[in-house]
């Protein structure tokens, strides 16, 4: 069953919200190695060293809720350090989608755009900013849509093409691999509900994994025993769930149009849903993150909004000139990816301030360049850039 067929089937059904207690759906260690193919001796020729740089520039007349504003003058520069070319399937590049970090290791997930399924994972470390490829995973029958880390493991959201042949109820699954130095071991597959995994959130305090799935999906909680074996222990149906954050020991999940609070222990719904003051016009667009003050930032297909979740008050909105692919928050600094650009922003006096914007096409002309997501660790930025692969930059200051 292809992606489109399953989606149309699910849309034809009546959608509802419910709680399923004590599911205890175990992992499938029998089929895990058939789905997750680990290679701890990857193709090092896919790595190349970079050169060149792109400067962050001032944005004039940025449209916002509180009037037009101009970004500040920035002296920040992105120095290109290296690249990993995209994993391939049948000679065609897959799309690098999401980045995770664990200690000094990074991982990037891949999927096949369109109706076909295929994906994988690259694990690498940086040597003076240049990537050193350590391990690779290939999933010929599954897209790896999302990735996170925690507890000595990488977790992968895997949408499986031939899920019926494994007696799974839906394509959405979670893949788990243990990290042993730079090697990957002990693959696990945990079946879920829903068509596609949209977000993964590992909570270190209770060592549980929270999974958002769309189209007859919802919020799944994955618990791990003393041997590190995972199983789905709780599930709440909540259609088209896309993005998750932890807020005051609760989970907040969003669709493209609304957000909802879930109990962190059992996933039960808390309170009522709240409509975003400015929703996304496109159901498949909607990214969420949270600041240290508990306020939310939500990115849709044209703007970034800043919202107080206690009263759902719209504090500010700013148009960024394209779909927001991801929002990374580091020490309350915002790193926003949209198209072929990386935007630096912060909140000052309840206003979203665009610090600067880097247009990567100026450094890579002619490349089909789409910055889907990134991870900032120290001075390094690791960006998943679709079929262009993985790019690593160093954040530096321009010479005066």
The answer to whether the beta carbons of residues 342 and 330 sit under 8 Å apart is no
- pLDDT, tens digit, for every residue of 280-289? 988 888 999 9
Per-residue model confidence (pLDDT) at position 56: 83
Q: CA dist 107 to 23, 198, 224, 338, 396, Å?
A: 30, 17, 21, 21, 23
Taking 50 as the threshold, does the pLDDT of residue 195 lie above it?
yes
What is the CA angle 168-151-286, rounded to 5?
60
Per-residue model confidence (pLDDT) at position 76: 85
User: What is the average pLDDT across 381-393?
Assistant: 96
Per-residue model confidence (pLDDT) at position 392: 97
User: What is the average pLDDT across 195-208?
Assistant: 96
Taking 70 as the threshold, does the pLDDT of residue 73 lie above it?
no
Per-residue model confidence (pLDDT) at position 17: 36
The answer to whether the beta carbons of residues 261 and 274 sit under 8 Å apart is no
Give the residue with greater pLDDT, 132 vs 22: 132
- Alpha-helical (H) ranges within the chain are 3-11, 32-35
* Predicted confidence band of residue 25 (pLDDT cuts 50, 70, 90): low
- pLDDT, tens digit, for every residue of 26-51? 676 789 999 999 999 999 999 999 98
* Predicted confidence band of residue 15 (pLDDT cuts 50, 70, 90): very low
- pLDDT, tens digit, for every residue of 84-105? 999 999 999 999 999 999 999 9
Lowest mean pLDDT among 16-20, 325-329, 393-397: 16-20
User: What is the average pLDDT across 65-69?
Assistant: 58
The answer to whether the beta carbons of residues 314 and 305 sit under 8 Å apart is yes
* Predicted confidence band of residue 355 (pLDDT cuts 50, 70, 90): confident
User: What is the average pLDDT across 380-390?
Assistant: 96
Per-residue model confidence (pLDDT) at position 30: 81
Question: What is the distance between the alpha carbons of residues 334 and 306, in angstroms, rounded to a whole number?
Answer: 12
- Cα–chain center distance at 328: 10
Q: If you average pLDDT over every residue of the chain, what do you get?
A: 89
Lowest mean pLDDT among 66-75, 168-177, 190-199, 351-360: 66-75
- pLDDT, tens digit, for every residue of 120-133? 999 999 999 999 99
Per-residue model confidence (pLDDT) at position 12: 33
Q: What tokens appear for 205 in the block?
A: 């305090």
* Predicted confidence band of residue 399 (pLDDT cuts 50, 70, 90): confident
* Predicted confidence band of residue 57 (pLDDT cuts 50, 70, 90): confident
Question: What is the distance between the alpha carbons of residues 338 and 106, in angstroms, rounded to a whole number?
Answer: 21
Q: CA dist 192 to 12, 37, 163, 222, 252, Å?
A: 20, 20, 11, 10, 20
User: What is the average pLDDT across 171-187?
Assistant: 95
May I ask the CATH class of domain 39-397?
mainly beta
Give the three-class secondary structure for 8.
Answer: helix
Taking 70 as the threshold, does the pLDDT of residue 313 lie above it?
yes
The answer to whether the beta carbons of residues 147 and 138 sit under 8 Å apart is no
Per-residue model confidence (pLDDT) at position 190: 97
Give the residue with greater pLDDT, 63 vs 141: 141
* Predicted confidence band of residue 148 (pLDDT cuts 50, 70, 90): very high
Give the three-class secondary structure for 186.
Answer: strand
Per-residue model confidence (pLDDT) at position 62: 59
Write out the DSSP string of 23-87. Answer: --EE--TTTHHHH-EEESS--GGGEEE---EEE-B---SB-BTT--B-PPP--EEEEEEEEEPPP
Q: What is the DSSP letter of 14?
A: P
Taking 50 as the threshold, does the pLDDT of residue 119 lie above it?
yes
User: What is the average pLDDT across 298-315?
Assistant: 95
Burial of 28 (C-beta count, 10 Å sphere; 0-12/13-18/19+) = middle
Lowest mean pLDDT among 25-39, 104-118, 242-256: 25-39
Within 10 Å of residue 389's Cβ, how many Cβ atoms?
24
Per-residue model confidence (pLDDT) at position 7: 40
Q: What tokens appear for 17 in the block?
A: 């919200």
Nearest to 381 by CA among 16, 181, 209, 129: 129
pLDDT above 90 as % of the chain: 72
Nearest to 341 by CA among 366, 318, 372: 372
- Cα–chain center distance at 320: 19
Burial 279-299 (b: 16+ CB within 10 A, else e): bbeeeebbbbbbeeeebbbbb
Q: CA dist 383 to 64, 71, 105, 267, 370, Å?
A: 27, 23, 14, 32, 10
Per-residue model confidence (pLDDT) at position 277: 96
Write out the DSSP string of 356-394. Answer: EEEEGGGTSTTS-----EEEEETTEEEEE-BTT-EEEEE
Tokens 């665009």 belong to residue: 354
User: What is the average pLDDT across 170-197?
Assistant: 95
Taking 70 as the threshold, does the pLDDT of residue 221 lie above it?
yes
The answer to whether the beta carbons of residues 160 and 191 sit under 8 Å apart is no
The answer to whether the beta carbons of residues 78 and 72 sit under 8 Å apart is no
Nearest to 176 by CA among 184, 168, 185, 188: 188
Q: Residue ranges of the domains in the chain?
A: 39-397
Write out the DSSP string of 83-152. Answer: EEPPPEETTEEPEEEEEEEETTEEEEEEE--SS---EEEEEEEEETTEEEEEEEEEETTEEEEEEEEETT
* CB-facing half-sphere around the CA of 174: CA atoms within 13 A: 34
Question: What is the distance between the alpha carbons of residues 185 and 180, in angstroms, rounded to a whole number?
Answer: 7
User: What is the average pLDDT across 104-124?
Assistant: 96
Give the residue with greater pLDDT, 4 vs 64: 64
């Amino acid at each position: 069953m292809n992606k489109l067929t399953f989606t149309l089937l699910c849309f034809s059904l009546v959608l509802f919200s419910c709680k399923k207690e004590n599911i205890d759906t175990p992992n499938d260690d029998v089929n895990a190695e058939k789905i997750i193919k680990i290679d701890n001796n990857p193709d090092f020729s896919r790595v190349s060293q970079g050169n060149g740089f792109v400067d962050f520039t001032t944005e004039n007349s940025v449209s916002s809720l509180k009037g037009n504003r101009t970004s500040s003058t920035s002296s920040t520069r992105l120095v290109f350090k290296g690249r990993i070319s995209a994993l391939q399937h049948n000679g065609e590049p897959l799309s690098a989608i999401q980045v995770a970090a664990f200690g000094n290791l990074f991982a990037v997930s891949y999927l096949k755009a369109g109706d076909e399924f295929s994906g994988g994972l690259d694990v690498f470390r940086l040597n003076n900013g240049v990537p050193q490829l350590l391990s690779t995973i290939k999933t010929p029958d599954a897209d790896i849509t999302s990735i996170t880390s925690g507890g000595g493991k990488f977790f992968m959201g895997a949408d499986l093409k031939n899920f019926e042949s494994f007696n799974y109820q839906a394509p959405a699954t979670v893949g788990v691999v243990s990290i042993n130095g730079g090697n990957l071991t002990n693959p696990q597959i945990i079946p879920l509900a829903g068509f596609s995994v949209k977000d993964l959130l590992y909570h270190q305090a209770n060592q549980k994994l929270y999974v958002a799935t769309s189209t007859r999906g919802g919020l799944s909680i994955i618990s791990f025993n003393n041997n590190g074996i995972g199983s789905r222990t709780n599930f709440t149906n909540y259609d088209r769930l896309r993005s998750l954050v932890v807020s005051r020991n609760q989970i907040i999940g969003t669709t493209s149009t609304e957000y909802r609070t879930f109990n962190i222990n059992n996933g039960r719904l808390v309170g009522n849903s709240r409509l975003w003051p400015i929703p996304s016009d496109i159901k498949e667009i909607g990214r969420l993150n949270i600041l240290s003050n508990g306020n939310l930032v939500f990115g849709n297909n044209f703007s970034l909004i800043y919202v107080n979740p206690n009263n759902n008050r719209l504090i500010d909105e700013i148009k960024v000139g394209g779909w927001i692919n991801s929002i990374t928050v580091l020490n309350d600094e915002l790193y926003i990816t949209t198209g072929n650009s990386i935007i630096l922003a912060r909140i000052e006096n309840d206003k979203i301030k665009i610090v600067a914007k880097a247009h990567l096409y100026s450094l890579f002309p002619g490349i089909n360049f789409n910055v889907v997501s990134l991870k900032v660790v120290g001075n390094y930025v690791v960006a998943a850039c679709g079929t262009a692969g993985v790019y690593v930059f160093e954040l530096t200051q321009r010479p005066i």
